[in-house]
């Protein structure tokens, strides 16, 4: 009886072993494609600019952006839709409805997450809090401490998205509020150093949680030529590591293409920002495989 059991086991193990091997070898050729779409500083621009606008005639508009996003979703359902803050302020839609319509439309477009910009404090913490029920997406920020405010518990320091087997860790950094936003709007919100916070976040996301991709939603601004000491996306990218993509905002920077920056470890980081007012939609496509030959190679970047 024992002998028979042994044979049964061995035989079955062999089958399963080969099955296991074949599974893992199948994965070697498994190519995954993730698309990240992003906006920043939309500033309540729900309608397109009119045809006679001197600067941006006929550009933007939520209805068109939604159609564009839907087309890309059909092409690749493995998609993350993100915003880098300053959703609020800029058209009467905000003055009349306090951000309700902005959040509702972003929810309809199935935004996954947004970080918080300085103008998102324009109706105070109460004003932002009051609109939260209209947002089906998450707010992610890692360097504002909301502990002693009404926003406590409503902003995530990070979120891990599992997209078709790809683990995407997203965290967020916001700009220093003192001197930019009235204290009575942000109250006891504490600003922490973005670079220090990023060290903790990347350690957690890349090394402990083993994320395949780490994305930072930033509202600190692209670059400040006249203020060398001020932290910006370009400086932030160079002073950190284990971040693959920085989606920026605040400075309303229109780039011809995403910027490639060498990080602290000498690896490439992509920094992107798409101007403002929903005039553009950023699109970054990531391709992954499990081929061991590619393990220590850096990705080729086509921009």
Partner 1 sequence: MVKLKKYNGFLKLFVIFLTLFSISSCGTKNYNLTKIEGKQLPVTEKASETPEIESFIKPYRDHINQDLDNVLAFCPETLDKSTGKWQTSIGSLLADVCLQRGNTVFKAREKKDIDLCLLNHGGIRAILPKGNVTTRTAFEIMPFENNLVVLALKGEQIKDIAAYIIKEKKPQPLSGMTFTITKQNTAKDIQIQGKPLDINKTYYVATNDYLANGGDSMNFFAKSTEKFDLNYKLRNVLIDYFKEVDTVLAPKNIRISEE
Which of the residues 124 through 163 are near partner 1 (CB under 8 A)?
none
DSSP 8-state class, residue 206: I
Q: Which is nearer to partner 1, 23 or 153 (CB)?
A: 23
Stretch that binds partner 1, among 139-147, 154-162, 224-232, 271-279 (CB under 8 A): 271-279
Q: Which is nearer to partner 1, 60 or 197 (CB)?
A: 60
Q: Which is nearer to partner 1, 105 or 231 (CB)?
A: 105
Contact 212, 288 (CB under 8 A): yes
**271-to-31, 166, 246, 279 alpha-carbon distances in Å:** 24, 21, 5, 18
Length of the chain: 303
> Is residue 17 near partner 1 by the rule CB under 8 A?
yes
Q: Which is nearer to partner 1, 208 or 295 (CB)?
A: 295
Per-residue contact track with partner 1, 207 to 226, x per CB under 8 A?
Answer: ---x-xx-------------
Q: Which is nearer to partner 1, 4 or 225 (CB)?
A: 4
Least separation in angstroms between residue 143's CB and partner 1 is 23
Give Cβ neighbours of residue 113 (< 8 Å, ≥ 6 apart).
80, 82, 83, 137, 138, 139, 140, 159, 170, 217
Distance CA 199, CA 190 (A): 18
Distance CA 127, CA 151 (A): 10
Contacts with partner 1: how many residues (CB under 8 A)?
81
Distance CA 175, CA 233 (A): 11
Q: Cα 267–269–271 angle (5° rounding)?
A: 160
Per-residue contact track with partner 1, 226 to 255, x per CB under 8 A?
Answer: ------------------xx---------x
Stretch that binds partner 1, among 137-145, 220-228, 232-240, 281-289 (CB under 8 A): 281-289
> Is residue 107 near partner 1 by the rule CB under 8 A?
no
Q: Which is nearer to partner 1, 13 or 148 (CB)?
A: 13
In this structure, the number of other CB atoms found within 10 A of the CB of residue 195 comes to: 16
Least separation in angstroms between residue 254's CB and partner 1 is 9
Residues 52-91 touching partner 1, rule: CB under 8 A, are 58-68, 70, 89-90
Stretch that binds partner 1, among 40-48, 129-137, 196-204, 224-232 (CB under 8 A): 40-48
Taking phi over 0 as left and psi of -120 to 50 as alpha, with beta for the rest, 179 belongs to left
Applying CB under 8 A, among 85, 117, 248, 278 the residue interacting with partner 1 is 278
In the numeric block, the tokens 């062999």 are attached to 14
Token pair for residue 77?
């359902």
Q: Cα 81–87–90 angle (5° rounding)?
A: 140
Contact 198, 140 (CB under 8 A): no
Q: Find residue 183's DSSP bridge partners.
A: none
Least separation in angstroms between residue 152's CB and partner 1 is 25
Stretch that binds partner 1, among 76-84, 94-102, 135-143, 227-235 (CB under 8 A): 94-102
In this structure, the number of other CB atoms found within 10 A of the CB of residue 135 comes to: 20
Applying CB under 8 A, among 126, 165, 190, 262 the residue interacting with partner 1 is 165
């Amino acid at each position: 009886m024992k002998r028979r059991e042994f044979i049964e086991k061995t035989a079955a193990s062999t089958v399963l072993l080969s099955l296991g091997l074949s599974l893992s070898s199948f994965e070697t050729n498994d190519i995954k494609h993730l698309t990240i779409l992003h906006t920043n500083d939309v500033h309540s621009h729900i309608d397109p600019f009119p045809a006679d606008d001197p600067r941006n005639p006929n550009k933007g508009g939520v209805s068109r952006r939604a159609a564009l996003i839907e087309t890309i979703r059909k092409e690749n359902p493995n998609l993350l839709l993100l915003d880098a803050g300053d959703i609020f302020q800029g058209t009467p839609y905000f003055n009349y409805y306090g951000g309700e319509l902005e959040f509702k439309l972003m929810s309809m477009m199935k935004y996954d997450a947004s970080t918080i910009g300085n103008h998102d404090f324009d109706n105070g913490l109460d004003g932002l809090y009051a609109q939260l029920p209209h947002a089906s997406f998450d707010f992610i920020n890692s360097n504002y401490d909301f502990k002693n405010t009404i926003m406590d518990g409503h902003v995530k320091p990070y979120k891990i998205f599992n997209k078709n087997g790809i683990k995407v860790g997203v965290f967020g950094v916001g700009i220093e509020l003192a001197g930019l936003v009235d204290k009575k709007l942000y109250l006891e919100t504490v600003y922490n150093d973005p670079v220090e916070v990023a060290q903790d976040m990347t350690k957690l996301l890349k090394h402990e949680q083993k994320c395949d991709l780490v994305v930072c939603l930033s509202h600190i601004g692209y670059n400040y030529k006249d203020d060398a000491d001020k932290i910006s996306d370009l400086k932030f990218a160079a002073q950190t590591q284990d971040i693959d993509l920085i989606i920026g905002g605040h400075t309303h920077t229109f780039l011809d293409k995403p910027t490639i920056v060498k990080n602290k470890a000498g690896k490439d980081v992509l920094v992107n920002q798409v101007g403002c007012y929903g005039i553009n939609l950023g699109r970054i496509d990531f391709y992954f495989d499990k081929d061991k030959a590619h393990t220590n190679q850096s990705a080729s970047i086509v921009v």
